[in-house]
Structure 1
């Protein structure tokens, strides 16, 4: 006799339906890139916005985020200025990085979020592994907060950002730590 295993994809997130707003004081957008192939440089973007729309099913849930590229912070002002320059990120012509989810699936604490990431004129599909941290009432504002950690990777060359390939790696690892506040 053969046993058959079935997998059920949940139809909704374990969150109240509505527009969850970002808690920017407890959120971060970070990245890691290889330098000379021998070490890693870590940085973050200091200005960003994100929205989480929770619907009745996963198909009606959506995440959007916008990151100001000129807010890059690697802990070195000279390096940050060079990253913003025309031969690097070219923030005058590429002021923002925008993400829009296209699919969310998972269960419990482990989720996958797919979406379109746009930098300048180029849009590519990306996938994030998402860990749902849970929901807790905040003693500060008395509202429910939900926490998420998302990790993914993009290739600079896919977005026309192939500058300095002998110095900087092509792969950029992205880490998002996001906290959202339940709708009132």
Structure 2
């Protein structure tokens, strides 16, 4: 085997996927879209969105992977109904004008345990690049006809002002941390 053969094999091993090609469906019962933001600079408010749809399209190589997700912003849950109503008001999210947040991947890269997903996040009429650190949890057969599931964690952060969400600087932190825990179901044989 030549050095070129070894390099070619190593390159193909780093881009091969342990996932079956096709369109993987989100398992909404085992997926979460969470966030946290500082309040008054001294504590953190955590919350989640319960209205999440997502799609994972797997090709033969990492370069062919595409992810898209849509979050219904009206489904915010911070554990406090009054706070949720205020976040949805024109003061902050203005859900009447910005009903959804949409993520579309533009590329996946990495190897071993270090993966990154680049993409574009759109909130209302503003689209900005976002990079997420991704942890692949693996693939498992679910008993009793549950199919094969793949699990992922993705984490990143955005700056509120870059999306026109600049209400109450000093009261709310500029940086919003995002944590996604997602399970996808392998495509069934057609």
Is the TM value for this pair above 0.5?
yes
Q: What's 2:4 paired with?
A: none
Q: Does 1:80 align with 2:98?
A: no
C-alpha displacement at 1:166, in angstroms? 1.9
TM norm structure 1: 0.93
Q: How does 1:82-97 map to 2 (within 5 A)?
A: 82-97=86-101
Gaps of 5+ in 1: 1-5
Among candidates 23, 43, 64, match of residue 60 of structure 1: 64
- Comparing 20-29 and 101-110, the one that deviates more: 101-110
Choose the corresponding residue for 1:50, options 48, 54, 58: 54
Distance 1:14 1:108, change over 3 A: farther
- The answer for the alignment partner of 1:3 in structure 2 is none
Q: Give the structure with the larger helix fraction.
A: 2
Unaligned runs of 5+ in 2: 1-6
Tell me whether 1:109 sits opposite 2:113 in the alignment.
Answer: yes
Do 1:98 and 1:117's aligned partners in 2 also have CA atoms closer than 8 Å? Answer: yes
Alpha-carbon separation, structure 2, partners of 1:43 and 1:142: 29
Aligned to 2:134: 130
Count of aligned residue pairs for this structure pair = 179
TM-score (normalised: structure 2):
0.91
Query: Which of 156, 178, 181 is the aligned partner of 1:177?
Result: 181
